[in-house]
Amino acid sequence: MELRHLKYFLKLAEELSFIRAAEKLFISQPPLSRQIKELEIEIGAQLFERNNKRVALTEAGKFYEKEMREVFRNIERINIKTKQISENQSGEFRIAYVSSTFSGDISTLIQFLSKEYPFVNFRLYEVPTVKQIKALEEFKIDLGIIRAPLNSHKIAAQLWFKDSFSLVFNKNLYPIQSEQEIKNLDETTFVFFNKDYSPQYYNNLLEICAHFGFVPKVVHESNNISSIIQLVKNGLGVSIVPTNILKSHNYPEIGYIEIKSVNLFTDILLVTPREHQSEIAQKAIDFLIKKQQ
């Protein structure tokens, strides 16, 4: 069996037409038919049902297609890794984060890595958790900073820190003094993260409000934590945000009260592709964890 047999098989499985597959492969139909037949003989299974009218995958063929596509994805991963080793850690390293986790630590990380690896271009992207997971699985991101939960066996994760939640408000408009006063905000306008953008985070906020006995009146939504803080700062509502973001959004108009009566935290994870570990990623993770200690 040669690699071309598998390429011919996958193209025919995709097109389900010897004519179209042969055209895409830039060969004539007889050699294609011969290669497919050789493959079927070698593995001892019929992969296609074919007659004058149609070509279709057998059940064995469907299984074989699924497995072979995974093989080719692994070949691509191996080629990428080999190229990176050959380049001796030059090229590009891509880091993604969710907006609510950005802090001075991430800026300091980029400075640290740039000194350690002067020939690497470090790219920083703001990407929501759901999209980060997909990008990590496809090796489009080298290091991600996300909020739990994470459901992917293709991604390795380490806990960076646990974050509590805090109520944020404009002190001039909402003279709130204690956590107990949150229960009086049932008629107050709330600013939340968009539900589709961060469903787990959105549900956490609903759970906190339920603890205080009301359903929040969500009038404004945003996909960016800075936008949420600006809306609160401008008096367009109150919000509940991860406590850690207040380090980088400290305004004199903004007041905040950490919510301690609700045993609810959000885990911040440092994530990498499980099959695509790198020296730079591990050094970045070690740096961030040490900064948090």
User: Is 160 part of any domain?
Assistant: no
Domain range enclosing 275: 89-150+271-292
Same domain? For 44 and 118 the reply is no
User: Is 199 part of any domain?
Assistant: yes
129-167: pLDDT as tens digits: 889 999 999 989 999 999 888 989 999 999 999 999 999
Q: Output 76 or 214, whichever has higher pLDDT.
A: 214
Identify the CA nearest to 13 among candidates 71, 90, 65, 79: 65
Looking up residue 18, the CATH number of its domain turns out to be 1.10.10.10
Same domain? For 76 and 14 the reply is yes
Same domain? For 78 and 106 the reply is no
Report d(CA 48, CA 178) in Å as an integer.
70
Which residue do the tokens 């709130």 mark?
Answer: 176
User: Is 157 part of any domain?
Assistant: no
Mean predicted lDDT score pLDDT of the chain: 89
Query: Structurally, how many domains does the chain consist of?
Result: 3
pLDDT band at 261; cut points 50, 70, 90:
very high
Looking up residue 137, the CATH number of its domain turns out to be 3.40.190.10
Q: From 56, 85, 114, give the residue that closes a domain.
A: 85
Residue 87, pLDDT score? 56
Same domain? For 37 and 122 the reply is no
User: Is 31 part of any domain?
Assistant: yes
pLDDT band at 86; cut points 50, 70, 90:
low
- Own/partner pairs, 128-131, CB within 8 angstroms, 24+ separation: 128/98, 128/197, 128/198, 128/223, 129/98, 129/198, 129/200, 130/198
Checking if the pLDDT of 81 tops 80, the result is no
- Own/partner pairs, 272-275, CB within 8 angstroms, 24+ separation: 272/136, 272/142, 272/143, 272/144, 272/155, 272/156, 273/136, 273/137, 273/139, 273/141, 273/142, 273/154, 273/155, 273/156, 274/153, 274/154, 274/155, 274/156, 275/74, 275/77, 275/154
User: Is 155 part of any domain?
Assistant: no
Same domain? For 131 and 182 the reply is no
Q: From 34, 55, 85, give the residue that closes a domain.
A: 85
- Per the structure block, which two tokens stand in for 27? 């060969």
Same domain? For 179 and 137 the reply is no
